[in-house]
Amino acid sequence: MSEVTQHPHNQTADFNYDEAVAAFTAPESSVDGVTVGKVLKDNAPHDVSQEHQWQWAKEHFGMVSPLNRRKFRVLIIGTGLAGGAAAAALGELGYDVKVFTYHDSPRRAHSIAAQGGVNSSRGKKLDNDSTYLHTKDTVKGGDYRCRENDCWRLAMESPKVIDHMNAIGAPFSREYGGTLATRSFGGVQVSRTYYTRGQTGQQLQLATTSALYRQIGAGNVEIFTHNELVDLVVNDDGVCEGAVMRNLITGELKVHTGHATVLATGGYGNVYHMSTLAKNSNASAIMRAYDRGAYLASPSFVQFHPTGLPVNSDWQSKTILMSESLRNDGRIWTPKKKGDDRDPKDIPEDERDYFLERRYPAFGNLVPRDIASRANAQQINAGYGVGPKKNSVYLDLGDAINRLGKDTIRERYGNLIQMYEEAIGENAYETPMRIAPTCHYTMGGLWTDFNEMTSVPGLFCSGESSWMYHGANRLGANSLLSSSVEGWFTLPFTVPNYLAPLLGTPVPDPESPQAKAALDRAQARIDRLMNIRGDNPHGPEYYHRQLGEILYFSCGVARNVE
């Protein structure tokens, strides 16, 4: 096979591609360690300090001229904050984008359930916040298991996220004078979290969906609703060329091909059965990529949120999240006496154990999530749990109501308090909330390089389905940020960098042997499941619960070497 016809992304780093002459040429320089479109160990520039790597990379990325962009097709699986933003951005740039959603509308993506806020070091205020401090907090909060150049990018691009979301319609909360309001989340000592009351994910998702629909209306993006990824098309050179999608209404399987494919399909928290994720957040797309050779990274890193609502029924299907923002004004405590069944209002102050404030005086109730969750679980397991099942601790807004007034607390958390009352049947203005640790977010996922490409060339991954940024523990309000940074401000640079050497390459053939093999493989899997004719009285939900409980108790909130 000649140099010119061989797939550019399987060339060694000794070759570069010049769009102007449509040929491979010797690279101009090799000291940086990055060649356009190549999949390297990390694909980050060498000999460039970590805080400058992203800016350096953008300045040296391969580019596609506006007249050539329509020649490239990009498939995006998922329309949450990461996938929807990437589809809208690449569509606006002029690429031929096909986007697929599991739902009847992009606005139903699970990003809409996020509540608390989105971090940004945009407004320095008086607390001396900075890009460095944001990066430091992210790395430290991740137990120093983050890839630091990714964290620098996250912090550097964060001001753009706030400005962009504000521009496309996200109604951020404001101070009386009109400036954007901020609050603190766990693991930090500054106020950098921008929010829209307790509905930040919803408002960012609606703004992103509006931008996406604008591109759909303009003909730049084609959307396929009620479609699920069931397999990936990978050619003989190991390059991803598309996906096999199943129409959830008709059951039809169809191959869609493209020059690049982006997975933005969410995390795998539902393996624990009880989690804050919707039941259709099943992470099957991640496993299809893994089956085709994509690496997983840090799959054991799972976050248990400290302020979930306790399980009240043996057949409850999911847990409900109370935003971490409540920890700004709520104090977490348990009775000092084990098995104390008194009404919390009847327990005097000197008989309450504000255990987070006692153990971690510097951060108090705003310790990082993993620390708060473990501390909550330790109190419950030691016999200090409260509520009918003794499986929760108190989050008390009483002091804040006395100090600030009920109207101020209602303005800040009114929708959360209403949600709590509907779920639990108690008035949080009058009696403390009951909260418990619950599976919430997966820091692990598909491994990606600095350009968000997986170990399968042509297959990118974004959002919670990726492993980037968060290490062993995600800081609160960094999830909406990471999805927004990836969708709006990373993939629109890295995907064109991958596509630049492919100019002149046609869209892969949906009738190729590899595409047909993927289609047959998907159909065979479905047939095998549908042809099972057992007499087992238990359905899948029974085994999901049993396996999830085993995982929760064996690999849950707190773990040891055993």
Quick one: average pLDDT of 80-107? 97
Output the pLDDT for position 21: 32
Quick one: average pLDDT of 526-545? 86
**Which of 33-37, 501-505, 517-521, 531-535 has the least mean pLDDT?**
33-37
Total count of residues recorded for the chain: 562
Q: 66 pLDDT exceeds 90?
A: yes
Helix 478-489 × helix 491-499 angle, to 10°? 40
Quick one: average pLDDT of 379-390? 94
More confident residue, 44 or 157: 157
Output the pLDDT for position 5: 37
394 within 8 A of 434, measured Cβ to Cβ: yes
Output the pLDDT for position 1: 36
Q: For the segment 166-188, what is each residue's pLDDT rounded down to a tens digit?
A: 999 999 999 889 999 999 888 88
What is the Cα 160 distance to its own chain's centre? 18
Quick one: average pLDDT of 485-514? 97
Output the pLDDT for position 36: 40
Output the pLDDT for position 87: 99
Q: Are strands 240-247 and 253-257 parallel, antiparallel or unpaired?
A: antiparallel
CA–CA separation, 352 vs 345, rounded Å? 11
Catalytic residue among 107, 153, 197, 369: 369
Q: For the segment 252-280, what is each residue's pLDDT rounded down to a tens digit?
A: 999 999 999 999 999 999 998 888 888 88
Residue 310's region, left for phi above 0, alpha for psi from -120 to 50, else beta, is beta
Which backbone phi and psi does 307 adopt, to 5 degrees? Answer: -120, 50
Q: For the segment 133-156, what is each residue's pLDDT rounded down to a tens digit?
A: 999 999 999 999 999 999 999 999
> Confidence class of residue 10 from pLDDT cuts 50, 70 and 90?
very low
Closest CA to 270 of 259, 262, 258, 282: 282
- Chosen CATH of 8-221+443-502 out of 3.40.50.2020, 3.40.50.300, 3.40.50.10140, 3.50.50.60: 3.50.50.60
Q: 472 pLDDT exceeds 60?
A: yes
Closest CA to 9 of 259, 290, 242: 259
CATH of domain 305-440: 3.90.700.10
DSSP letter for 366, please: G
> Confidence class of residue 409 from pLDDT cuts 50, 70 and 90?
very high
* Burial letters 517-530, b for 16+ CB under 10 A, else e: ebbeebeeeeeeee
Output the pLDDT for position 40: 40
Instruction: Output the CA–CA distances (angstroms, integers) from residue 292 to 295, 457, 527, 532, in the order listed.
Output: 9, 11, 20, 25
DSSP letter for 239, please: -
Output the pLDDT for position 23: 32
Q: Indicate where the chain has its CATH 3.50.50.60 domain(s).
A: 8-221+443-502
Active site residue 369: yes
Q: 12 pLDDT exceeds 80?
A: no
Quick one: average pLDDT of 379-404? 95
CA–CA separation, 109 vs 205, rounded Å? 8
Which backbone phi and psi does 112 adopt, to 5 degrees? Answer: -65, -15
> Confidence class of residue 535 from pLDDT cuts 50, 70 and 90?
confident
Q: 28 pLDDT exceeds 60?
A: no
Q: 242 pLDDT exceeds 90?
A: yes
More confident residue, 72 or 476: 72
Q: 55 pLDDT exceeds 80?
A: yes
> Confidence class of residue 283 from pLDDT cuts 50, 70 and 90?
confident
Quick one: average pLDDT of 540-557? 87
Output the pLDDT for position 124: 65
Output the pLDDT for position 42: 57
Output the pLDDT for position 537: 84
Output the pLDDT for position 185: 86
More confident residue, 538 or 373: 373
Q: What is the pTM of this model?
A: 0.88
More confident residue, 497 or 282: 497
Output the pLDDT for position 168: 97
Q: For the segment 214-235, what is each residue's pLDDT rounded down to a tens digit?
A: 999 999 999 999 999 999 999 9
Q: Indicate where the chain has its CATH 3.90.700.10 domain(s).
A: 305-440
> Confidence class of residue 89 from pLDDT cuts 50, 70 and 90?
very high
> Confidence class of residue 406 from pLDDT cuts 50, 70 and 90?
very high
Q: 415 pLDDT exceeds 90?
A: no
Output the pLDDT for position 562: 65
CA–CA separation, 493 vs 149, rounded Å? 16
Output the pLDDT for position 6: 42
Alpha-carbon torsion (248, 251, 257, 263), positive or negative: positive
Mean pLDDT of the chain: 89
Q: 193 pLDDT exceeds 80?
A: yes
Output the pLDDT for position 31: 33
- Show Cβ contacts of residue 469 under 8 Å, excluding neighbours closer than 6 positions: 138, 142, 146, 147, 150, 151, 154, 478, 482
**Which of 59-73, 113-127, 244-258 has the least mean pLDDT?**
113-127
Q: For the segment 293-325, what is each residue's pLDDT rounded down to a tens digit?
A: 999 999 999 999 999 999 887 767 788 888 888
